[in-house]
Amino acid sequence: MLPTPKKYFLTSGSAEGETELTAFDGALLKAGIGNINLIKVSSILPPQAEYVPELKLPFGALVPTAFGSIVCEEPGTIISAAVAVGISEDSFGVIMELADKLIREEAENKIEQMVKESFAMRKMKLKDIKISAVEHKVQKIGCAIAAVPLWY
């Protein structure tokens, strides 16, 4: 049985690279999560998880992470990635991820609506929303990522 994470933070970053993978790696580094191993998880924030914006993760750690990313090879294209965490009053939270060819403001608005809809579907009361988003104009090969790493 895996332990349930007790801490989390939101982050985002973007970068250019010579390849799709190096653009992705650069975006991870800009987001501050380039030296850990992401384990992609779906979108539930554990009950009582503590928001720790300056959380430092050990190099090479296996980190459960909800994230959205986009890589694009069309120069001049605007890409964005966003994550949002919806906090309930007395239960678990919900994490939403988005990556698309949008400007940052559109991504932030869309991700906020996604959190509100997910809470409505669960018939839960929404207490707070935290959002992290990034926008990137592609020069050659660009990547944008937004993530919610979870920790113990």
pLDDT per residue rounded down to tens, the chain (152 residues): 889 999 999 999 999 999 999 999 999 999 999 999 999 999 999 999 999 999 999 999 999 999 999 999 999 999 999 999 999 988 999 999 999 999 999 999 999 999 999 999 999 999 999 999 999 999 999 999 999 999 99
Q: What pTM does this model have?
A: 0.96
For residue 120, give every residue at least 6 positions away whose Cβ sits within 8 Å of its Cβ, in sequence order, or none: none
Our count of domains for the chain comes to 1
Concerning whether 91 is annotated as a catalytic residue, the answer is no
Concerning whether 118 is annotated as a catalytic residue, the answer is no
d(CA 54, CA 103): 26
Concerning whether 35 is annotated as a catalytic residue, the answer is no
Are 63 and 3 spatial neighbours (Cβ–Cβ below 8 Å)? no
Is 2 contained in some domain?
Answer: no
Is 54 contained in some domain?
Answer: yes
Is 59 contained in some domain?
Answer: yes
Q: Which of 12, 14, 43, 132 is catalytic?
A: 43
Is 1 contained in some domain?
Answer: no
Q: What is the CATH number of the domain that holds 51?
A: 3.50.20.10
Concerning whether 97 is annotated as a catalytic residue, the answer is yes
Q: Which of 37, 73, 74, 117 is catalytic?
A: 37
Q: Which of 12, 14, 80, 97 is catalytic?
A: 97
Boundaries of domain holding 100: 7-151
